């Protein structure tokens, strides 16, 4: 989860990033860093899973990810939780890298004047990030192009 501040008002973003292609597969925003924020994001991510998939979900040690309701939901969907030890951010490094990219390419370049403007901008940026922004490690393709490319062959 990351925090944005617009004129003293805060907005929190909770996304799920697929390590296969770097795609943001689900995300949610809220004005508070609540359990409902991360559980809503998780429901969106789980809705994209096929019944045969048993993914690994990395996170930091935030209180939301330690709640029994979170762990129960993961177990019900056969999702394995991976959480780094305190002071070791390796499990969450890919997400922190996305946050840095998001803030440098979008948030710092666009002076949002309202939370609603920020939310609309986040929708556009995440779509751009998934569908248009190329990555060299994905052979010059966007995350969605990389994921769907084998299907086209």
Q: Are 43 and 66 in contact (CB under 8 A)?
A: no
- Name the superfamily (CATH) of residues 2-148: Ribonuclease H-like superfamily/Ribonuclease H (3.30.420.10)
pLDDT of residue 150 exceeding 90:
no
For residue range 40-76, list pLDDT tens digits in order. 999 999 999 998 999 999 988 889 999 999 999 999 9
- Ordered by start, the domain boundaries in the chain are 2-148
What is the reported pLDDT for 89? 66
Q: How does residue 151 score in pLDDT terms, banded at 50, 70 and 90?
A: low
Give which of 29, 22, 19, 31 is closest to 122, Cα–Cα.
29
Buried b / exposed e over 3-33, threshold 16 CB at 10 Å, is: ebebeeeebbbbbbbbeebbbbbbbbbbeeb
Helix (H) or strand (E) holding 81: strand 80-83
Whole-model pTM above 0.75? yes
The neighbouring-strand residues paired with 15 are 27
What is the reported pLDDT for 51? 87
What is the reported pLDDT for 114? 97
């Amino acid at each position: 989860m990351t925090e944005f501040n617009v004129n003293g008002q805060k907005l929190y973003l909770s996304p799920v990033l697929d390590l296969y292609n770097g795609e943001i597969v689900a995300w949610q925003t809220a004005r508070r860093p609540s359990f409902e924020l991360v559980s809503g994001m998780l429901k969106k991510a789980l809705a994209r899973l096929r019944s045969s998939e048993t993914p690994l979900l990395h996170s930091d040690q935030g209180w939301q990810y330690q709640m029994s309701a979170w762990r129960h939901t993961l177990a019900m969907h056969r999702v394995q939780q991976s959480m780094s030890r305190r002071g070791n951010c390796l499990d969450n490094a890919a997400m922190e890298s996305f946050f840095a990219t998001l803030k440098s390419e979008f948030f710092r370049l666009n002076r949002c004047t309202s939370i609603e403007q920020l939310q609309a901008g986040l929708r556009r940026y995440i779509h751009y990030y998934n569908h248009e922004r190329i990555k060299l490690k994905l052979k010059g393709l966007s995350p969605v192009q990389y994921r769907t490319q084998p299907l086209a062959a």
